[in-house]
Structure 1
Amino acid sequence: MGPAKRCGKSRLLDVITESVHDPLITVNASAAAVFRSITDAPPTLLVDEADTLFGSVKVAEKNEEMRGLLNAGHQRNRPTLRVSGPNHEVAKFPTFAMAALAGIGDLPDTIMDRSIVIRMRRRRPGEKVAEFRTFRDTPALHALRDRFVAWLAPLHADAMELTPTMPVEDRAADTWQPLVSVADLAGGQWPDLARTACRVTAKHEAEQDQDSSSLGIRLLADIRRAFATEGNPPALRTGRLLDILNQDDETPWPEHTANGLTPRGLQILLKEYGISSATRRFHGNVQAKGFTRLQFADSWARYCPEPTPEPTTGA
């Protein structure tokens, strides 16, 4: 993914095309055609300009089948059902296939969540890179691909039995496990390098997801910072909490309405998490509407957990 044109996305896809098993470039291909191209020995799907498929709500709606195919293809044994043939019989079509997508901006969340995301940047003036020339460089890529096949083919059964220790959990672990398994088979420095890449990339994408996620999750994170600003008291008045949120110009709250985030707006956003204010007793025996820190503990842990400190190694 890249934020704009000329970030090297298509060039990277060119390199991948010459390096993978049975590449299938799906430019303007229909979902039905792609369905029928995937067999028990699937090709590698290559989708350039993927933002043209999902770049707007209206366009994405027209390509819902393609999105469903890419989502289902993340795992084996997730066939799609279609009515096929003159007798209108229900047929199963396999969906599992490796896929590489290139595009401007982020793709739908369900695709991003199933992907290893490589974020590209445009070269600065003066930065030099070796140019890729198809006719000159393709033979070397084919030779590298063939070496990988010759090495890995005899190890296929061993690779399928591996259950490597992963530095991430859930879907990120599912996505990265094949690469980490290959790294473990290679030995040497590769197991550590693969796990470092996995951990750093997954952490970055989690931060990106939090930055662009719903207002509710953003609000939870900002409320945690508000409590920290006040020294993490057991409870915080609603008025004081809103003052802190609305004074931070780097958050969306000052412009949430003409008057910033209001008590009513705060109540609506927190309702989804089962959190509401109540009359509480504060310093000086003063009663006021407010929240306890304990009310947020479960939601903080579930939706915006604080990063786990990376392990340090001794000298």
Structure 2
Amino acid sequence: MALPSPEVLTAVTLWVAATHLQPALQHAPRLAVVGPTKGCGKSRLLDVLHEIVHQPMMTVNTSPAVIFRVIGENPPTLLVDEADTIFGPKAGEKEDLRGLLNAGHQRNRPAWRVSGPEHKPTAFPTFAMAALAGIGDLPDTIMDRAVVVRVKKRKDGEKIAQFRSRHSVPELNVLRDQLSGWLVPLLDAASRLIPPMPVEDRAADTWEPLIIVADLAGGEWPALARAACLAMTKHQAGQDEESTLRTRLLRDIRRVFADHGDPEALRTQDLLAALITDAESPWPEYGKSGLNAHLLSGLLRDFGINPANFRPEQGKQAKGYFRNKFVDAWDRYCPEPSEVVPPTPARPVRSAPITPTGGMPVGVMGGISGPKRTR
């Protein structure tokens, strides 16, 4: 995975380890894996988690009744892909599942249902670790109980190792067994830990299991965990618009810069004027009275793009947007089509057949030199 920062890598690592401490935990933090568009690696991250967390249960579209019955004394780690389909505008019948995911964040929050031929009231446990992946933000009640991982689309030049079940799964399973072998004997010690937290209230409840793992590990992990906690619990701007609208905005801004000769920066008022004058775009009617500076800033904030002061060649200092701040987002979410170069005809070359030399070895992830922390 090309995760967006070292802090996110730290958080995901600690969350994975925390799934092996479930019996000792008071809270089961959700891992919300969200991105602005498709193709950001959300499902791939769930593939990796499936092979390394405690007792995984992968699901795309399941009923609350099934999950009610699989959560017990030793609950699975729920891995929910395409979670945006569960909480979308047409998902009213999924309210029970949303309630289950909310209640399951804290121990001793059972769901009561009438069950069996005698219609007997029955308490179903809800406590279980869960990772949910989807496009756009999940409901506030889920995000408030989650370690939020905002993934980005990988751009050209960012290389990663390919995930292949035949060798990736055995390597991950080895790490899963090592984590379990280390943490299960420490369940009693973990249940007694009350670690000092850098945050308070719901955020402290959510991050405490990760901090507990870090304190049990010692070394650099306590400092890394608390730094990740502080960095990732900062206020997250809401993503209220569909990802397609944000991508459209990026494309339109690129066109405006090109129409102005690709200057170093454009004044906010000039950028808005160019966007709004396009009658076929959504910007003249966006919001209550058209796109304005505040709304533009909100739409771009999740891409890491913010307005700044600059001085045009002729004129007074003004607020505007620097072109170089958009380049990374353009490369990731709306890259320019590559120019197709027709292949040069070549004479066929006869080569000797390749003789297989054996299967692929399975070893510690990262090769002989050991694992490497990658973005």
Please give the range of the TM-score, normalised by the shorter of the 2 chains. 0.5 to 0.7
Matched residue, 2:196: 165
Contact 1:26–1:34 under 8 Å retained in 2: no
Ranges in structure 2 where 5+ consecutive residues have no aligned partner = 1-33, 241-271, 273-285, 292-375
2:124 paired with 1:128: no
Counterpart mapping for 1:86-97 below 5 A: 86-97=117-128
Q: Deviations over 1:170-198 (max 9, x none)?
A: 11110110110110011000000000111
Q: Deviations over 1:124-169 (max 9, x none)?
A: 1222111111121111111111111111111111111111111111
RCO comparison, higher one (Cα < 8 Å, 6+): 2
Matched residue, 1:207: 236
Matched residue, 1:43: 76
Give me the TM-score of the superposition, normalised by structure 2: 0.55
Looking at structure 2, the residues matched to 3 and 167 of structure 1 have their Cα atoms a distance apart, in angstroms, of 29
2:50 paired with 1:21: no
Q: How many residue pairs were aligned?
A: 219
> What is the CA-CA distance between 1:114 and the residue it aligns to?
0.5
Counterpart mapping for 1:279-294 below 5 A: none
Counterpart mapping for 1:25-174 below 5 A: 25-55=58-88, 57-59=89-91, 61-174=92-205
Q: Deviations over 1:215-252 (max 9, x none)?
A: xxxxxxxxxxxxxxxxxxxxxxxxxxxxxxxxxx8xxx
Which of 207, 229, 245 lines up with 1:176 in the alignment? 207
Specify which structure has the higher proportion of helix: 1
RMSD: 2.4
Change (3 A) 1:29 1:207: closer
Ranges in structure 1 where 5+ consecutive residues have no aligned partner = 213-248, 250-254, 261-315
Looking at structure 1, the residues matched to 171 and 130 of structure 2 have their Cα atoms a distance apart, in angstroms, of 22
Which of 218, 224, 246 lines up with 1:193 in the alignment? 224
Tell me the percent identity: 60
Query: Post-superposition, which runs of at least 4 consecutive aligned residues in structure 1 deviate over 6 A?
Result: none
Change (3 A) 1:259 1:97: closer
Which of 33, 44, 64 lines up with 1:11 in the alignment? 44
Change (3 A) 1:26 1:129: same
Looking at structure 2, the residues matched to 257 and 127 of structure 1 have their Cα atoms a distance apart, in angstroms, of 40
Looking at structure 2, the residues matched to 135 and 88 of structure 1 have their Cα atoms a distance apart, in angstroms, of 47
Looking at structure 2, the residues matched to 169 and 258 of structure 1 have their Cα atoms a distance apart, in angstroms, of 39
Amino acid at match of 2:71: I
Matched residue, 1:236: none
Contact 2:76–2:129 under 8 Å retained in 1: yes
- Higher mean C-alpha displacement, 25-34 vs 14-23: 25-34
Amino acid at match of 1:162: L
Change (3 A) 1:165 1:89: same
Contact 2:87–2:94 under 8 Å retained in 1: yes
> What is the CA-CA distance between 1:259 and the residue it aligns to?
11
Matched residue, 2:27: none
